[in-house]
Amino acid sequence: MRRFLICLVTLPFLLSWDCRSAAPPVSVSNQPVTAGDRQPMKPLSEMNWTDADQRVQKLADLNGKAVILDFWATYCPPCREEIPHLNSLLVKYGADNLHIVGLNVGGAEDMPRIPDFVKNTKIDYPIAFPEDELTRFVFATRSDIPQTAVFDRRGKMIAKIVGFSPAIQKELDAAVEKAVGTE
């Protein structure tokens, strides 16, 4: 009972503290964005992420598949809402056509929470950690999470979507349909 009361009291605070409300989708080009006078160190296709087994992967490694890079954190309610939908997209299109990577951007304090979060949330796709250059590219104009980048089979960015809601889900579905359909 005591745990329930503590959760009940702290839940509204946590929900309002960590994530901003969902925003409308934002389209961007496929070219890396510069931050001030700093030039990107490499093309988007060469930006990478590292999984829990310390394997490094990059977008160019996934040529021939549509790709979703989902930037999330365990403390973000819209991120939690998006995960079941991402799982359903993977089922709909199959792993041969669509590759999803959950890129955690919650920082060092979020790392210990990830194993239980993945287990309890039932994430059906790999979790990894983006390199700084990839994070700077994706968050160049907005820092809200989740941010979901959708790439076609040739590695071209179709859309970058910020937030998650029923309306945004429709935008995500349309972007994935376009990405998977590209030959």
Amino acid 29: pLDDT: 34
For every residue of 47-109, DSSP letters joined together read -EEEETT--EEEGGGGTTSEEEEEEE-TT-HHHHHHHHHHHHHHHHH-TTTEEEEEEE-S-TT
Looking at the DSSP bridge assignments, the partners of residue 150 are 68, 159
pLDDT digits (tens, 9 = 90+) for 4-58: 444 444 444 444 444 543 333 333 333 333 334 444 567 888 899 999 889 999 9
Tokens of 60: 């160019």
C-alpha atoms less than 13 angstroms from C-alpha of 183 in its C-beta half-sphere = 0
Amino acid 27: pLDDT: 36
- Cβ atoms within 10 A of the Cβ of 20, count? 14
Which position has the token pair 């329930």?
4
**Mean pLDDT score, 153-163:** 93
pLDDT confidence tier of residue 161, bands split at 50, 70 and 90: very high
In this structure, what CATH number is given to the domain that contains residue 108?
Answer: 3.40.30.10
Pick the more confident residue, 79 or 8: 79
Q: Is the pTM of this model over 0.85?
A: no
Domain range enclosing 9: 2-181
How many residues are present in the chain?
A: 183
pLDDT digits (tens, 9 = 90+) for 91-143: 999 999 999 999 999 999 999 999 999 889 899 999 999 999 999 988 888 88
- Domain tally for the chain? 1
Amino acid 1: pLDDT: 52
